[in-house]
Amino acid sequence: MKDQLALLLEEIDSGRISRRSFLNRTAAFGLTAALGTTLLPNGARADEPKKGGMFRMGWGGGESTDTLDPSLADSPVPFLVNRQWGDTIVNVTADGQIEPRLAEKMTANADGTEWRFTIRQGVKFHDGSDLTVDDVVATFKRHSDENSKSGALGIMKGIASIAADGQDVVLTLASGNADLPYLLSDYHLVVQPKGGVDAPNAAIGTGTWKVLTAEPGVRYTFEKNPADWDATRGHYDGVEILVINDATARTSALQSGQVDMINRIDPKVAKLLGQSPGIVVSNVSGRGIYVFNMFANTAPFDNKDLRMALKYAINRQEMVDKILDGFGGIGNDIPVNAAYPLFTALPQREYDPVKAAEHYKASGHDGSPIVLTVADTSFPGAVDAAALFQQSAAACGITLEIKRVPDDGYWSDVWNVNPFCAAYWGGRPVQDQMYSTAYLSTADWNDTRTISKDLDAMILAARSETDTAKRTELYSKIAMFVQEESGLICPMFNDFIDSHTDKIAGYEKDPNFEAMGGWASAKTWFA
């Protein structure tokens, strides 16, 4: 009979390793997972990729203030741009598997407090220099530095030390974490020469494409990396990303042939667009959320009764019906859903004008308008969603003032700055990553300003718990705390809706994020 490790390695080689298998038989049990170049099943593809052509993407969610520093990527265009030129040490596939990238082997001790990642040799950066273990160490250390303002800061907090040992990066954790490889797939953690400390905006990476031009808020162009270490990707000659924030203009650009793929299709037009000749609309359910966030430590939202009044004053079902038009599902004021492992459903919070009015009266609020800031870029249909919120709140005796602002500068000057605004989250592969990124008191992206030692303790305890039942119970308690105490109003989980011409082959749905998790340009080709 084969031993457990041999069975695990067989599954890895055949592409069958699931998240459950990975967690149960590596992180929590001290096994070594030796990973090959890819976890895709062996054998030739029937639809062999063709080479050539310029792939053009029309993308919403870009600003003139965007940077090429991956630590600061906070909206769709910077995310997509970084996917073109950079790699992380591991990736999460569409079916939740761990896929090796710049790390080819990983090892965990018995309690998950020490992890070793063997870095792939023979990989070169775009500038011709060799990828080394020291580059990975420096990258992780930069994103662990509070001065970096990295979006990955929250998930790096649990790492006590980062060191190189031969070809291994050794991470020692303050407490065990079976989910660590999933956390290290975070899109901010693009490996850069010397960690990007001296030149964070240089866009020098190991990815499929090399940056030719970068005009933030306007246009980016890329050429093929001739020294790409992964021969299975990069079938086009080059890539162009046009920043088109207006949804109607993006749709027109696709229909007219100006671009080959667009993102953020408005749910209200998705079905009609899909009927257009030569156009394919693809939607996939996942972990993405559309939200209205309040700073729970900032007046007037530091008053729990006022927060609860607003949570009861929103009609979630109406919003799902009228804004998503079937492309998503109802939210429950927590950032996770059944797409996450170890999820436990909570009783659904309903629209309740009576309770909203009771909490509003108890808050002692003076009746002045409560300002909600929103922009078209907040999420597709955000302005209309805010108007629905305004109407449902008015029926509860609460006056909302909608402040509509320009798209440009929204993610740098409004989101995570303004105490009450609309936003979206793309979700994360595991609950720990979602909570660590956005709800730990120390997380730079804590955009509800939920500051609680009790919540911090529960998040850290769940991270290190190896008993599945106990860990599931902890995540249920975390969800209940966030639902009751945080500044999160989450009315809906959205589908990711992309659209492309029927000339594109190789497209696969990925619930991790839009555009095949950001890898569409690397994995598709012209038929």
Can you give the C-alpha Rg of the chain in angstroms?
A: 23
Structure tokens given for 118: 């063997």
- As beta bridge partners, residue 142 has none
Q: How far apart are CA 52 and CA 38, in angstroms?
A: 23
* The predicted structure's pLDDT at residue 6: 39
H/E element, 432: helix 431-438
Q: Is 187 a member of any domain?
A: no
Q: How far apart are CA 434 and CA 154, in angstroms?
A: 9
Q: Is 266 a member of any domain?
A: no
* The predicted structure's pLDDT at residue 171: 98
* The predicted structure's pLDDT at residue 15: 39
267 CB neighbour count, 10 Å cutoff: 20
**What one-character DSSP code corresponds to residue 187?**
T
The answer to whether 94 and 19 have CB atoms below 8 angstroms apart is no
* The predicted structure's pLDDT at residue 287: 95
Q: CB-side exposure of 227: number of CA atoms within 13 Å?
A: 14
* The predicted structure's pLDDT at residue 147: 86
* The predicted structure's pLDDT at residue 111: 86
Helix (DSSP H) and strand (DSSP E) numbers for the chain: 18, 22
The answer to whether 35 and 217 have CB atoms below 8 angstroms apart is no
SS3 404: strand
Residue 145, burial from CB neighbour count under 10 angstroms (0-12, 13-18, 19+): middle
Q: Is 218 a member of any domain?
A: no
Q: Describe the chain by its helix, strand, coil percentages, rounded to 5.
A: 30, 20, 45
Q: Is 385 a member of any domain?
A: yes
Q: Which of 195, 134, 189, 213 is nearest to 167 (CA)?
A: 134
Domain with residue 409: its CATH number is: 3.10.105.10
Given the structure tokens 């009764």, which residue do they identify? 305
* The predicted structure's pLDDT at residue 476: 98
The answer to whether 261 and 58 have CB atoms below 8 angstroms apart is yes
H/E element, 372: strand 370-374
Q: Is 44 a member of any domain?
A: no
pLDDT tens-place values along the chain, 527 residues long: 333 333 444 444 433 344 444 444 344 434 445 443 333 333 334 478 999 999 999 999 999 999 999 999 999 999 999 999 999 999 999 988 899 999 999 999 988 899 999 999 999 999 999 999 999 999 999 999 988 889 999 999 889 999 999 999 999 998 889 899 999 999 999 999 999 999 999 999 999 999 999 999 999 999 999 999 999 999 999 999 999 999 999 999 999 999 999 999 999 999 999 999 999 999 999 899 999 999 999 999 999 999 999 999 999 999 999 999 999 999 999 999 999 999 999 999 999 999 999 999 999 999 999 999 999 999 999 999 999 999 999 999 999 999 999 999 999 999 999 999 999 999 999 999 999 999 999 999 999 999 999 999 999 999 988 889 999 999 999 999 999 999 999 999 999 999 999 999 999 999 999 999 999 999 999 99
Q: Which of 309, 307, 447, 326 is nearest to 381 (CA)?
A: 326
Residue 202, burial from CB neighbour count under 10 angstroms (0-12, 13-18, 19+): middle
Pairing of strands 90-92, 98-100: antiparallel
Structure tokens given for 477: 């308690």
Structure tokens given for 128: 């011709």
Q: How far apart are CA 66 and CA 55, in angstroms?
A: 22
- The alpha carbon dihedral of 325, 330, 336, 339 has a sign of negative
- As beta bridge partners, residue 215 has 219
The answer to whether 317 and 323 have CB atoms below 8 angstroms apart is no
- The alpha carbon dihedral of 214, 218, 224, 227 has a sign of positive
Number of domains making up the chain: 1
E strands, 216-305, are 219-224, 238-243, 261-262, 279-284, 289-294
Structure tokens given for 122: 């023979």
* The predicted structure's pLDDT at residue 464: 85
H/E element, 493: strand 488-494
The answer to whether 115 and 107 have CB atoms below 8 angstroms apart is yes
Pairing of strands 209-215, 219-224: antiparallel
Q: How far apart are CA 346 and CA 488, in angstroms?
A: 15
The answer to whether 526 and 53 have CB atoms below 8 angstroms apart is yes
Give the relative orientation of helices 453-464 and 431-438 as an angle to the nearest 10 degrees: 150
Q: Is 229 a member of any domain?
A: no
Structure tokens given for 291: 């939200």
**What one-character DSSP code corresponds to residue 124?**
B
Q: What is the 3-state secondary structure (H, E, C) of 22-85?
A: HHHHHHCCCCEEECCCCCCCCCCCCCCCCCCCEEEEEECCCCCCCCCCHHHCCCHHHHHHHHHH
Q: Which of 373, 324, 341 is nearest to 18 (CA)?
A: 341
Name the amino acid, one letter, at 162. Answer: I
- Domain containing 321 equals 289-494
Q: Is 451 a member of any domain?
A: yes
Q: Which of 522, 281, 317, 309 is nearest to 400 (CA)?
A: 309
Residue 392 Ramachandran class (φ > 0 left, ψ -120 to 50 alpha, else beta)? alpha
Q: Is 488 a member of any domain?
A: yes
